Amino acid sequence: MSAPPPQPRSPRDWWPPSRDNWWITAGAGAALVLVVVVLAFALGGDGDPPLTATTGAGGPLGTTTTIVPDGTTPPDTDPGPGASTPIDVFGGFQPIAVKIDNVAAARPQVGIDAAEIVFEVPVEGGLTRLTAIYLSARPTVVGPVRSLRPVDADLLAAFEPVLVSTGGQDFVRREVAAAGIVDVSIDDAPDLFQVLERPAPHNLVASIPLIANFATAGPPRTTPFPFGSGDLSGESHESVGIPFSAVNDVTWTWNGTRYVRSVNGEPFLVYADVNSNPEPLETDTVLVLQVAQRSAGYTDGAGADVPTFDVIGFGRFFLFHGGVAVDGEWRRAAQEDGYRLISRDGTSLRIPAGRLFVEIVPRFVDVGID
């Protein structure tokens, strides 16, 4: 097994970021400690704005200061680490959504295996970004956390979540707020974040139990997906391949119990927490939504056009559960609505209980089913 990742540190150990070397002189009693901190901040060409220079007051994991909007400490309503319920039961909690880095330098990610729902959406350069959604699960940390994307307001509005990121383009944040989503970034609450010993900007992780303190509501008013019970009736298929690009060829393979993820033929590993060994990412159900891709109207730092996607409207879907595949048409009339899944015979489908991984796939990508 691979060695576990280094323990995270507080953001105060390295904020504010800079492209140049910088010095921090700190007094501790009568002793002076001179610390040289070098941060090579690489945007990676994915269109993210630089992280705003912010000084946090956080500490080691377990002692980080809790921050809430009104400056008070809320009652402890956290169900505790590892707690979860079926994805069709929100358990009275407002969902938490976290933007997750998915470039090679960000892997293995931490804590996404506990998310009841995960979205994967393409970005520039043939890469993708993940959004992990926690309905009642509360892993200690999750990450690496990255910025918002132009599709997020449309994609996540039905969940009405607390959405955690490292920030984003101003117009994206305005759209997210207008959709009724609680937007929380490192600019708003740096103490919610910790730092792994990895190259920036792939090193920020967030504390889910502390982020839950930003919840301002209960479960969403709309069911984002048609969850239900029972098994699917359809044709048996062992795997689904999604070739996003030559550098990001995703496969989900049925192992008789769950679907196991691989990328470019290699197992996709994740850490349950910072003290664990990496394990392959598995899910109970894979939902592929084919969508139209269009320009978001701006370019990234390398001049590449930033894409966004029509996740409202209609398109083809493929649903995989229990080694069986069903396809048909997905429909969604408005931002506040959930998805409907209509099979080829006109039947409305429900997604069986369990963990769900949703692939947002451009229509021009050929989905392979074996």
Domains 11-60+89-214 and 227-369 agree in fold: yes
Out of 3.10.450.50, 3.40.47.10, 3.30.70.100, 3.50.90.10, select the CATH number for domain 227-369: 3.50.90.10
pLDDT of residue 85: 33
Residue that wins the pLDDT comparison between 53 and 231: 231
What pLDDT does 91 receive? 63
Residue 201: CA atoms inside 13 Å, Cβ hemisphere, count?
26
* 116-149 pLDDT tens trace: 999 999 998 899 999 999 988 888 899 999 999 9
pLDDT of residue 37: 26
Each residue's pLDDT tens digit, 45-59 = 344 333 222 222 222
pLDDT digits (tens, 9 = 90+) for 288-304: 999 999 998 888 877 88
User: Quick one: what percent of the chain has pLDDT higher than 90?
Assistant: 56
Closest-CA residue to 116 (of 147, 93, 150): 93
**What is the mean predicted confidence (pLDDT) over 71-98?**
49
Residue-range domain boundaries for the chain = 11-60+89-214, 227-369
Question: For residue range 327-339, what is the model confidence (pLDDT) as tens digits?
Answer: 999 999 999 999 9
Topology (CATH level 3) of domain 11-60+89-214: YerB-like fold (3.50.90)
- Give the pLDDT confidence score for residue 157 in this predicted structure: 96
Report the share of the chain in percent with pLDDT over 70: 75
Query: Is pLDDT at 249 greater than 90 in this prediction?
Result: yes
Supply φ then ψ for residue 208, to 5 degrees: -65, -45
Identify the residue with better confidence: 294 or 233. 294
What is the per-residue pLDDT for 73?
28
Residue 26, pLDDT > 90, answer: no
| Average pLDDT over all residues of the chain | 78
| SS3 readout for the chain | CCCCCCCCECHHHCCCCCCCCEEEEEEECCEEEEEEECCCCCCCCCCCCCCCCCCCCCCCCCCCCCCCCCCCCCCCCCCCCCCCCCCCCCCCCCCEEEEECCCHHHCCEECHHHCCEEEEEECHHHCEEEEEEECCCCCCCEECECCCCCCHHHHHHHHCCEEEECCCCHHHHHHHHHCCCEEEECCCCHHHEEECCCCCCCCEEECHHHHHHHCCCCCCCCCCCCEECCCCCCEECCEEEEEEECCEEEEEEECCCCEEEEECCEECEEECCCCCCCEECEECEEEEEEEEEEEEEEECCCCCEEEEEECCEEEEEEEEECCEEEEEEEEECCCCCCCEEEECCCCECCEECCCEEEEEEECCCCCEEC
When pLDDT is cut at 50, 70 and 90, the band that residue 239 belongs to is very high
* pLDDT of 231: 67
Task: Flag whether pLDDT at 192 surpasses 70.
Answer: yes
pLDDT tens track for 91-111: 678 999 999 999 999 999 999
pLDDT of residue 197: 86
> Over the stretch 145-173, which tens digit does the pLDDT of each residue have?
999 999 999 999 999 999 999 999 999 99
What pLDDT, on the 0 to 100 scale, is given for residue 230?
Answer: 66
The answer, yes or no, to whether residue 41 has pLDDT greater than 50, is no
pLDDT at 222: 86
